[in-house]
Amino acid sequence: MLLFAGIDEAGYGPMLGPLCVAATAFRIADADPAEGPPDLWDRLASVVARRASDKRRRIAVADSKTLKSPNGGRQHPLRHLERGVLSMLGAMGPLPATDEELLDRLSVGSERLRTRPWYAASRSLPVAATAERLGIDAAKLGRAMRTAGVEPVAMMAEAIDEEAFNRLCTAAGKAHVNFVAAMRLVDRLWREHPEAHPRVMIDRHGGRSDYVEPLLRAFPGVQLRVLAQGDRVSRYRLERDGSEITLSFEVECEDRHLPTALASMTAKLVRELLMDRFNRFFGGLAPEVKPTAGYVTDARRWLEEIAPTLERRGLRRQDLVRLA
């Protein structure tokens, strides 16, 4: 038996909006951990594809950067992200009917977000398909996973708002914000499955190859063994209270491991839905200002255009802008 998990982020680079980090995990009954992680794309090939342009119209699970369609195109930009994430959640339980239900299902903990008025307004889901269509996809995916001996056991996420991002970034640097959030998800997986020796695949952070010191800071008191530390893969085994976990930091991890690709999609969908809340709030205050995705060049345009509205409403620019 193997507990096979992946972690990835969305929103590391933007100037506006939250940083989102997500984790997914699968239990694979007949997998031998000694043989390395299995190819879940191959096991689920009847319903899952590696790319959106699939002639068989299978569910795309891939790096989120390859799946979001352009805004203003013929297809809804979130159609592939939504289909992949919600069909997997639907295979695990009821489909979320609102984005607030989605945040709850992913244990995002949106109480802090609600203190920001621009993240307060929920909306119904799905936004790019119908619940009936996603229900069919979820049923097909569930049958395929049962046949393949694959059980989804966790989908979870964090959303770090601007104030928290800036505070953590000032204290320890931008890469630290991402790493610490990822390690909180690792800790949750480990505590929920202490007997399973989870194997967790994480996209490499900021070009770093040596993770010994940050891991020991994140998990004080653990015993740590370096299994590999090279240009493309850094792998560590951690032990505490008789329970073990193996963490692999890999280059292009989303292209190598389906749980990491699904985590990338989950983080991206959460960020996109929160940015939708952001744009709906400010669009209500200033309908003439075009929405923004939050990336630096367009964020500067948006901030310039929204400045009179912020001043008139008593909203502070520094509460919206990330420091790095």
**Is 321 buried (19+), middle (13-18) or exposed (0-12) by CB count in 10 A?**
middle
258-285 vs 296-313: helix crossing angle, rounded to 10: 40
- Residue 297 forms part of a structural domain: no
Q: What is the Cα–Cα distance from 237 to 216, expressed in whole angstroms?
A: 12
**pLDDT of the residue at 110:** 67
- Residue 30 forms part of a structural domain: yes
- Cβ atoms of 260 and 266 within 8 Å: the answer is no
**pLDDT of the residue at 259:** 98
- Residue 139 forms part of a structural domain: yes
- Residue 216 forms part of a structural domain: yes
CATH of the domain at 37: 3.30.420.10
**pLDDT of the residue at 174:** 84
The number of domains in the chain is 1
Q: What does the pLDDT profile of the chain (324 residues) look like in tens digits? A: 899 999 999 999 999 999 999 999 999 988 877 778 899 999 999 999 999 989 999 999 999 999 977 776 678 999 999 999 999 999 999 999 999 999 999 999 767 787 899 999 999 999 999 999 999 999 999 999 999 999 999 999 999 999 999 999 998 888 889 999 999 999 999 999 999 999 999 998 767 899 999 999 999 999 999 999 998 999 999 999 999 999 999 999 999 999 999 999 999 999 999 999 999 999 999 999 999 999 999 999 999 999 999 999 999 999 999 987
- Residue 219 forms part of a structural domain: yes
- Residue 137 forms part of a structural domain: yes
Specify the length of the chain in residues: 324
The full DSSP string for 192-213 is H-TTS--EEEEEPPTT----HH
- Residue 266 forms part of a structural domain: yes
CA-CA-CA-CA dihedral for 114, 115, 119, 123, to nearest 10: 30
In whole angstroms, what separates CA 232 from the centre of its chain? 22
- Residue 315 forms part of a structural domain: no
- Cβ atoms of 277 and 123 within 8 Å: the answer is yes
Quote the tokens at residue 38.
């299995």
Instruction: Supply the range of the domain harboring residue 16.
Output: 2-283
Residue 59 is classified by DSSP as E
